[in-house]
Amino acid sequence: MATRYIYMNTFSKRGFIPWEEATIHVLSHVIHYASGVFEGIRGYRTDNGIAIFRGKDHYRRLINSAKIYRMFVDIDEEGFMEITKELIRKNDLQNVLDKVKAEGRMKNPFVYIRPVIFRGFISEEPDDPVIQPPLGVNPLKNPTEYFMAAFLWDDYLGEKAIKEGADVITSSWTRIAPNTVPAFAKGVANYANAQLAKMEAELTVVLTDYKDKIALKKASEKGELADVSNLRFPVESIQLNAEGYVSEGAGENIFVVKYEGKNVKIYTPPIYASILPGITRDSIITIARDLGYEVIETMIPREMLYVADEIFFTGTAAEVTPIRSVDGIPIGKGEPGEVTLRIREEYVGIATGKKEDRYGWLEYV
C-alpha cells in the first residue's frame, strides 16, 4: 500500500498512525451532523522534488473555515505545512509517484493532500460511556480534532476532458443559498448538495440534435444498434444559485470567456454568488490579468453559458479544465479554446516548476 501513514490529532490518537489504525469513533459528531471542514491541496512533481501548491493559503482557508463553525485548533498554517511535508516523506510519495508514472498505472499522477478538522467524540461519563454520549445537534461539548492524509490521484475529470474539453450539464439541484450554510467555508455539509449535482451529471446522457433522439428511439424499438457518435456523457454539473445565476461546478469554480472584437473578456461569478473562494480561482485571476486579459467578477445568467466562446473549470484537482459543451450545446468551436489553453499552460508551467514561480506559490518538500 502506497500510503502507509495518516497524521491524526484526536482524543485517542496522536501522531503518524498506520493506515489501517487511522479510525474515529462511530459516534463522532461529524458523522451524524457533518460538523467538519476540509481542504484539498496538490503536490506537483518537479525537477526539485514534490512542490506543494499554495499550501499555506489552503491551510489559512482551512483554519478560517473551522473558525466560522466555532472550531478552534492550536496549530497555524506553518505547523500544518511541517506535518504535510513529513507525511509526504514518511509515505515516500516522491518514489511512489515516479513508480506509478513509469508503470503507466496513472496518466498524470500527483500528490493529493486532504486535511480535515472535525468534531469528534468523548463521553460525558468516561467510566460508563453508554450513559449520555454528547450526540445532540449542539456540537460545543464535542472536542475539535483533525487528521491529514496524503495519497496519489489522477486527472479529476479524466484525461479526455483535458485534451478535448469536458461535457457538462446545468444541474437541477440549486447551489446552497446565502445564510443557510456558509459557502465561504469549505464545510463537509456543503458537499451533500454538490454530490447530488455530481451524480446527476454522471447519470445523464445528452443528445446534441433532436434527430438523434428519434433515430435512437426507432433503433431501440426495432432492437437494433444505433449510432451514438453524437451522444454526450457529462462528467460534471454546473450549479445555479438561489437567484438562478451561475454559481460553480459541483467541485470547481467556473470562468466564461467572450471575444469582443480583438478584446477578450473573462467573466467569473463573484463571492456573493454562493461560491467557494477557490485558491486556484484566485491563481487563475492573477495569471489571466498578468497575461493581459480583463477579468470581471459578476453575476452570470445561465444563457450566457450557451453563447460563450470558451468556458473552463478551475480547482485543485481540476486545475484548468476546458468545457466543450453545456447541456449538449457546443461551446465556441466545441473544443478547448486558445485563451483557456494559454492560461492552463501558464498555470501548469508554474505549478510544475517549468516556469518561474514569480508569485511564490510553491513550497518544496
Indicate the helix (H) or strand (E) that contains 169. Answer: strand 166-170
Beta bridge partners of 167: 325
Instruction: Measure the CA–CA gap between 244 and 246, rounded to whole angstroms.
Output: 7
Burial string for 154-169 (b: 16+ CB within 10 Å, else e) reads: ebbbeeebbeebbbbb
Q: Are residues 281 and 333 in the same domain?
A: yes
Q: Are residues 212 and 331 in the same domain?
A: yes
State in Å, rounded, how far the first CA of the chain is from the last one.
21
Any domain includes 364: no
Domain boundary among 114, 131, 153: 153
Alpha-helix residue ranges (DSSP H) falling in the chain: 29-33, 55-68, 77-90, 93-103, 159-164, 190-202, 210-222, 279-290, 302-306, 338-351
Q: Are residues 297 and 182 in the same domain?
A: yes
Q: Are residues 147 and 280 in the same domain?
A: no
| CATH code for the domain of 31 | 3.30.470.10
In tens digits, the chain (365 residues) has pLDDT values of 567 999 999 988 999 999 999 999 999 999 999 999 999 999 999 999 999 999 999 999 999 999 999 999 999 999 999 999 999 999 999 999 999 999 999 988 999 999 999 999 887 676 776 777 778 899 998 999 999 999 999 988 878 888 999 999 999 999 999 999 999 999 999 999 999 999 999 999 998 788 888 888 888 898 888 777 778 899 999 999 999 999 999 999 999 999 988 899 999 999 999 999 999 999 999 999 999 999 999 999 999 999 999 999 999 999 999 999 999 999 999 999 999 999 999 999 999 999 999 999 999 99
Any domain includes 365: no
Instruction: Measure the CA–CA gap between 312 and 285, rounded to whole angstroms.
Output: 13
Domain boundary among 153, 168, 189: 153
Q: Are residues 133 and 178 in the same domain?
A: no
Q: In the 8-state DSSP scheme, what is residue 263?
A: E
Mode of pairing for the β-strands spanning 294-297 and 14-18: unpaired
Q: What size, in residues, is the chain? A: 365
Do 164 and 336 form a contact (C-beta atoms < 8 A)?
A: yes
pTM of the model: 0.94
C-alpha pair distances (Å), 196 with each of 80, 246, 251, 312: 31, 17, 12, 21
| Residue 112 grid coordinates | 493529493
Do 168 and 233 form a contact (C-beta atoms < 8 A)?
A: no
Indicate the helix (H) or strand (E) that contains 5. Answer: strand 5-9
Catalytic residues: 186
Q: Are residues 174 and 92 in the same domain?
A: no
Q: Are residues 123 and 213 in the same domain?
A: no
How many CA within 13 A on the CB side of residue 351?
26
Q: Are residues 143 and 242 in the same domain?
A: no
Any domain includes 76: yes
Domain that holds residue 201: 159-358
Domain boundary among 153, 185, 212: 153
| Residue 214 grid coordinates | 428519434
Any domain includes 332: yes
